Amino acid sequence: MDYLHEDQYEVVVENVKKSYDGKKLALDGISFHIKKGEIYGLLGKNGAGKSTTIKILTTLINFDSGNCNIAGYDLRKDSSKIRKIIGVVQQEESFDFTTVEKNFKLTGMLWEVPKNIREERMEKLIDLFGLQEIRKKRMYDLSGGQKKRVQVAREFMHEMKVLFLDEPTVGLDPIMRRKILQYIREQAKNGLTILFTTQNLEEADMICDRIGIIDGGKIVEEGTSEELKFKFGTLRTVKITTQTNVEKYINDIKEKIKTVNYEDISFDENKILILGKNVDRRVGDVLGSLYEMGIEVENVSIENPTLDDVFMRVVER
Amino acid sequence: MRMPAFVRLTVRNIVVNIDPGTLIFMLGLPTLYLFVMGFMFQGINPNGGLVVQYHGIAIKYTTFLAPGIIALQAFTAGNIGGSMLWSDRRWGMFEQIMVGPFRRSEYLLGIIFVSIIFALVGSAIMIGFAFTIPVRFNITLAGIGLFILTMVVGTMLFSSIFLIISGIAKSMQAYNTITILLFFLLDFASTAFYPITNSTPGWLHVIAGGNPLSFISDILRESFISGVDYNSLYYSGILFVAMLIFFVLSLRVYKNIRSGI
Ligand SMILES: Nc1ncnc2c1ncn2[C@@H]1O[C@H](COP(=O)(O)OP(=O)(O)OP(=O)(O)O)[C@@H](O)[C@H]1O
Ligand SMILES: [Mg+2]
């Protein structure tokens, strides 16, 4: 019954609980589903349970109760089959104590990638992840960000159905971060299903199809980034600049736009500031009213909420 | 052609571990022992060289020493194997392999195999060097068979011991300290370098006598010098049982290794 939508979902997590010490729950009944080709972002503060979730789904640690299914395989029964179809970039650094190139080659060999494909893929990834200059260097001579790049790139040496990325962009410069996210996006377009954890909200906003906010070991909010912003949007400000001084129309304007449900309005010569929840979606009404009163509008701007606002509100309430 | 998982892991272990440091530890050190100790001790008696009483026969010290140095390869290779688990845990590769297309047992096999390969290759090289000293070996088919078997069992014994240490060590310092202590204790309180004689103190007699490295050295001496007999098979049996005990213990430790350190 749990897997009613078995073919629709590539990753099914249902009511999973996990305690490391038998007392405190690291995961407290977490549930979420990921469709094939979807990028699902797990967003949460330190200790929320992101890595624990990934370690469980990648068969590294056991869980106490609940159900998990990956690409049709039950996590409890078919863990070795699951390991053959997933890719994992763990949060902690991980590399073979040798050169960058050998790290790629060894990954290809361990995954039985045919030799010619191995070489070709390695060249492509080295180019794409900007590793050309350091390809002959030993891993321990690299900077933190360079190591991370190798760690992420290396995982694309082999085929997989589901990819788990635990904070893969920590320590990367903005250009590289963007490049890598773009590459990940492309892979999802080709059908790869991705679970992505991050604390960087901007990043989640950029590449995730859906986001689950995890707190205290369970999903407390879920939706597309737009949905979340809409639901938890903070007060927004609409700023209107007019050609004429509006101070003498104050009472008329207030009366006319009563229905907008603003929380505060202020006037300053030829500027009107309207503050309220979702007031941005009523801009049309406001402009219509001003037009009726013969007030010419020069400029309108809206301050949008960010995913940060959503995150702060959700995890701090 | 498909390579079984443990073979792929073995290949990986070899590639990752063929670095100057490992080679010096595995080959450089014993070579130094063989030549330096061999010649220096030989020089203790300037006329005619140092002679050791072995099974009632008088043999040159170098001939006595060489099988001991070869036996050291089992210790060294086992140490390298155990260190692999340690460094894979330290550098996050243990977890990475555990989420890949492998089983835990295959990872373990990969380590044991690479240790055995290193031990056999290393001891073959040492035998080659020994002949340049020169030594007087009495090569027989049974001797070669027993030599290979002893190296395999001995390496598995030491791999198991070092796997246990790798599995329970919580820090690099702890691991290194234990390893170095073991190295000195097992190396020097053994019959690898010198025979146990009537003048050996009792306590040292006990340590050296119970030391697996002594067992391996003595079995190899029989393989190469005095010939395989009932006695050598008896000692091999004890070595085998010891190996089994430590192997089972190491399996238990290994099973309980949690990810991370
Ligand atoms: N090996 C462990 N032993 C005991 N407790 C652990 C262990 N690993 C994690 N925990 C605890 O489980 C909870 C969830 O940790 P987890 O690593 O999943 O958080 P996270 O969301 O990945 O955090 P971060 O953003 O810092 O990576 C935390 O309270 C943590 O202290
Ligand atoms: Mg984490």
Nearest residue on chain A to B5, alpha-carbon basis = A110
The DSSP 8-state label assigned to residue B38 in this structure reads H
CA distance A201 to B81: 44
Of B11, B15, B259, the CB nearest to A60: B259
**DSSP helix/strand/coil, B199:** coil
Q: Which of B16, B95, B100 sits opposite A97 (nearest CB)?
A: B16
Q: Choose the mutation target among B85, B99, B106, B258 for the interface with A, i.e. most A CBs under 10 Å.
A: B99
In this predicted structure, what is the pLDDT of residue A3? 44
Tell me whether residue B260 is in a domain.
Answer: no
B255 touches chain A (CB under 8 A): no
Please report which ligand is nearest the Cα atom of A43.
1
Closest Cα to atom 8 of ligand 1: A52
In a domain, B38, yes or no: yes
Closest CA to B17 of B61, B80, B66: B80
Residue A90 near ligand 1, beta carbon < 6 Å: no
Nearest CA to ligand 1 atom 18: A49
Per CB-CB distance under 8 Å, the chain A contacts of B97 are 110
Chain B nearest C-alpha distance from A77 (Å)? 14
Instruction: Say if B100 is an interface residue toward chain A (CB within 8 Å).
Output: yes
Nearest ligand, CA A45: 1
For the CA of A214, the nearest atom of ligand 1: 21
pLDDT number for residue B259: 55
Which of residues B61 and A123 earns the better pLDDT score?
A: A123
Q: Which atom of ligand 1 is nearest to the CA of A45?
A: 25
Query: Is A91 close to ligand 1, i.e. is its CB under 6 Å away?
Result: yes
Taking alpha carbons only, the member of A115, A305, A316 closest to residue A227 is A305
| Element counts in chain B: helices (H) and strands (E) | 12, 2
Number of H helices, E strands in chain A: 11, 14
* Shortest Cα–Cα distance, A192 to chain B (Å): 17
B101 touches chain A (CB under 8 A): yes
Taking the C-alpha atoms of A182, A183, A184 and A185 in order, what is their torsion angle to the nearest 10 degrees?
A: 50
Residue ranges in B46-132 assigned as alpha helix (H): 61-90, 93-98, 104-131
d(CA A200, ligand 2 centre) in Å: 13
List chain B pLDDT tens, one digit each, 261 residues: 688 999 999 999 999 988 888 888 888 888 888 888 877 777 777 776 778 888 778 888 888 999 999 999 999 999 999 889 989 988 999 999 999 999 988 999 999 999 999 999 999 999 999 888 878 888 889 999 999 999 999 999 999 999 999 888 888 888 889 989 998 888 888 888 888 887 888 888 888 888 999 999 999 999 998 888 888 889 999 999 999 999 999 999 988 886 543
B196 and B205 Cβ atoms separated by less than 8 Å: yes
A228 vs A71, A234, A312, B206, B245, CA distance in Å? 27, 11, 12, 73, 59
pLDDT of residue A134: 96
> Would you call A83 an interface residue with chain B, using a CB distance cutoff of 8 Å?
yes
B11 contact A CB<8A: yes
What average pLDDT does chain A have?
Answer: 89
Calculate the dihedral angle through the C-alpha atoms of A133, A136, A138, A143, rounding to the nearest 10 degrees: 10
Whether ligand 1 lies within 6 angstroms of the CB of A19 is answered as no
| pLDDT number for residue B200 | 81
Interchain contact, A83 vs B15, CB within 8 Å: no
Residue A106: closest C-alpha in chain B: B12
C-alpha to C-alpha distance for B196 and B184, rounded to whole angstroms: 17
Dihedral sign from CA coordinates of A106, A112, A116, A120 = negative
Tell me what ipTM this predicted complex has: 0.85
B80 contact A CB<8A = no
Quote the ligand 1 centre to A30 CA distance (angstroms). Answer: 14
> In this structure, what is the dihedral angle of CA atoms A245, A247, A252, A258, given to the nearest 10 degrees?
100
Type of residue numbered A181 = L
Would you say residue B120 lies in a domain?
yes
Q: Is residue B179 part of a domain?
A: yes
A234: confidence class by pLDDT, cuts 50, 70, 90: low
| A contact residues 122-151, partner B, Cβ 8 Å cutoff | none
Q: How far is A126 from chain B (nearest CA, A)?
A: 20
In this predicted structure, what is the pLDDT of residue B260?
Answer: 45
Residue B183 has φ and ψ, to the nearest 5°, of -60, -50
CA of A51 to the centre of ligand 1 (A): 7
| pTM of the shown model | 0.83
Listed in sequence order, the residues at least 6 apart from A170 whose beta carbon sits closer than 8 Å to its beta carbon are A91, A148
Task: Report the alpha-carbon distance of residue A282 to residue A267 in Å, rounded.
Answer: 18
Instruction: Name which residue sits closest to atom 4 of ligand 1, judged by CA.
Output: A20
In a domain, B227, yes or no: yes
Strands A264-268 and A271-277: antiparallel
pLDDT digits (tens, 9 = 90+) for A267-292: 888 888 887 777 777 888 888 888 88
Contacts 24+ apart (CB under 8 A), A17-21: A17/A63, A17/A64, A17/A65, A17/A66, A17/A217, A18/A52, A18/A56, A18/A61, A18/A62, A18/A63, A18/A64, A18/A217, A19/A64
Is residue B261 domain-resident? Answer: no
Q: Which residue of A has its CA nearest to B10?
A: A110
Name beta bridge partners: A275: A237, A264
Q: What is the Cα A121 distance to its own chain's centre?
A: 26
Domain around B213: 5-255
Q: Is A251 in the pocket of ligand 1 (CB under 6 A)?
A: no
Cα atoms in the Cβ-side hemisphere of radius 13 Å centred on B83? 22
The protein residue with its alpha carbon nearest to ligand 1, atom 5, reads A20
Residue A2's pLDDT is 46
**Interchain contact A110–B (C-beta under 8 A):** yes
Number of domains in chain B: 1
Rounded mean pLDDT, A262-269: 82
pLDDT score, position B197:
80
Cβ neighbours for B67, distance < 8 A, ≥ 6 positions apart: B217, B220, B221, B223, B224, B225
User: Tokens at residue A99, please?
Assistant: 């050169």
Determine the pLDDT at residue A317. 57
- The reported pLDDT for the residue numbered A35 is 95
